[in-house]
Amino acid sequence: MKREGNFSRYTEDDIRKGRSIYKMKLYAIENCLFAVDIEPSAVDIAKLRFWLSIIVDQDLEADEEPHALPNLDMNIHVGNSLIDEYEG
């Protein structure tokens, strides 16, 4: 289906090739999601859930391995977010 206006020369398939759901989820998880939880196991479960969410949408060839989850240690921390002071 062709669209009117500035993007009339591009079809929806052309646009989708450049912006896959996998790439959008990966970008959002790496750059937009931040969390703090007091329970260490909750942090591990959140990281696992993010990886599972990404891996479902990854397009894999027959012999390709799933990509590893990027390092989220700067985005997801174990800690108490309800304290008044940090380091005095």
Question: At residue 24, does pLDDT exceed 70?
Answer: yes
Contacts of 76 (CB under 8 A, 6+ apart): 33, 34, 35, 36, 37, 43, 46, 47
Would you place residue 6 in the very low, low, confident or very high pLDDT band (cuts 50, 70, 90)? low
Question: At residue 2, does pLDDT exceed 60?
Answer: no
Phi, psi angle pair for 28, to nearest 5°: -65, -40
pLDDT, greater one: 1 or 58: 58
* Per-residue pLDDT at 86: 62
Would you place residue 46 in the very low, low, confident or very high pLDDT band (cuts 50, 70, 90)? very high
Spatial distance between the Cα atoms of 37 and 75, rounded to a whole number of angstroms: 11
> 50: part of which helix (H) or strand (E)?
helix 40-57
What is the chain's alpha carbon radius of gyration, rounded to the nearest angstrom?
A: 19
> What average pLDDT does the segment 69-75 reach?
82
